[in-house]
Amino acid sequence: MAHEYFTHKGVLFPSLFYSPAALSYVENEFQVRDDDIFNVTYPKSGTHWMLEILSLIRCDGDPGWVHSVLNWERAPWVGSQKGLEAALKYPPPRLLCSHLPVQLFPRSLQGSKAKVRGGKQGLRVGIEGHRQGVGQ
């Protein structure tokens, strides 16, 4: 088990998908764009349902893109090694997914106008509302 998981800032991650270097990059160097949309959720809280809804909104309700492009290609997982690589190449506006806790989220989010949306039991707060202390 020691080789299958590692701890990064007190959080356990599977080594197969995550690396300390990628997590550090996301937190400290990843540049959040003003038009980014984050689907941030707890595991098993409606992540994929929310991704489907956000994907349909992004393409004005046309299901063609949703049916023809795989989930992880439509919304790369920020934090995982492969997801980070895809996110860095993704054209704007980026639709991105994450299960990262707030203390590991990109610091550049604070200065952006990016939107954060969560699944049924996840985050449901717009950044402007959060800055003012009012959740949406």
Q: How far apart are CA 30 and CA 106, in angstroms?
A: 6
Catalytic sites, residue numbers: 99
Burial 104-132 (b: 16+ CB within 10 A, else e): bbbebbeeeebbbbbbeebbbbbbeeeee
* Tokens 């800055």, located at residue: 131
What is the distance in angstroms between the CA of the first residue and the CA of the last residue of the chain? Answer: 40
